[in-house]
Chains A and B, each alone.
Chain A
Amino acid sequence: MNADQVVSLLDTALRLEPIAFDLVLKFASSLKGKSADEVRALNDSLSSQLDSELDADQAELDANVAAKKKS
């Protein structure tokens, strides 16, 4: 890895840092008191939520591509 690549990597890491820090806060949050089945149900719900967000991301991408083709 050369110096430019290192600088570019550090720059991106700093942009993503708030997201990484939030991830650690989430890890610290507790699932205490929930049974295995309850955590699995929560996981299913998180997966469904992620599916919906990815559908929205795809729609946004399609709209961006269509707009660029028009212009």
Chain B
Amino acid sequence: MKLIRLKQAGLIAVLGVLSLTFMAQSGCDKAKSAAVANNRYLESLQHFRDAEKSEYEAGHISDEQQGRIIQAERDANEAAKDLNKAIGLAQSGADPKQYVDAAELSFSQMEAVVGKDNQALDALVRVSGDLLKNAISLDQALAAQKGGN
């Protein structure tokens, strides 16, 4: 029963990503779509942190792993900050590429650390990664639109 709810939760999250993409492609405010997508990414990081903390407190993660994961979470949070800056730049017509590249690099550092430590947490990281990619693609669509104006 719980597994079915988890599958439903995953399905709803995917539908959320698809609806955000549809909003962007159907002419809704692209800047807001990108900002909302980054907000979803940040929410997923917050939940990752909550999940990871309970795993650590339950003794499923060693102190050494915990130190590496905290640093990885900081990197992933930096990705969100970089992307927020990129969206602001794209809104004003400037090139957000340097911040998008920085966001991708920060997040890849998190993927490299967490995947080795815990399979379930790795699954959560993949959800965050998909949300980050979605936010980046919306930011790039915004930059292309502003660049074309």
A51 lies within 8 A of B87 (CB) = no
**Chain A contact residues, CB within 8 Å of chain B:** 5, 8-10, 12-17, 19-24, 26-28, 31, 34-36, 39-40, 42-44, 46-47, 49-51, 53-54, 57-58, 61, 64-65, 68
Tell me what chain A mostly uses at the interface: helix, strand, loop, or mixed. helix
How far is B73's CA from A40's CA once the two chains are assembled, in angstroms? Answer: 20
Contacts of A22 in B (CB 8 A): 47
Contacts of B12 in A (CB 8 A): 24, 27-28
Closest B residue to A51 by beta carbon equals: B77
Contacts of A5 in B (CB 8 A): 119
A17 lies within 8 A of B2 (CB) = yes
**Do A14 and B2 contact each other (CB < 8 Å), given the known contacts A20-B9, A26-B43?**
yes
**Do A12 and B118 contact each other (CB < 8 Å), given the known contacts A40-B35, A40-B87?**
yes
Contacts of B6 in A (CB 8 A): 13-14, 17, 20-21
How far is B122's CA from A5's CA once the two chains are assembled, in angstroms? Answer: 14
**Do A54 and B70 contact each other (CB < 8 Å), given the known contacts A9-B120, A23-B43?**
yes
Closest A residue to B15 by beta carbon equals: A27
How far is B120's CA from A9's CA once the two chains are assembled, in angstroms? Answer: 6
User: Residue B50 at the A interface, CB < 8 A?
Assistant: yes
**Do A50 and B42 contact each other (CB < 8 Å), given the known contacts A23-B13, A43-B80, A44-B81?**
yes
Q: Kindly provide the distance from the CB of B132 to the nearest chain A CB, expressed in whole angstroms.
A: 13
How far is B124's CA from A9's CA once the two chains are assembled, in angstroms? Answer: 12
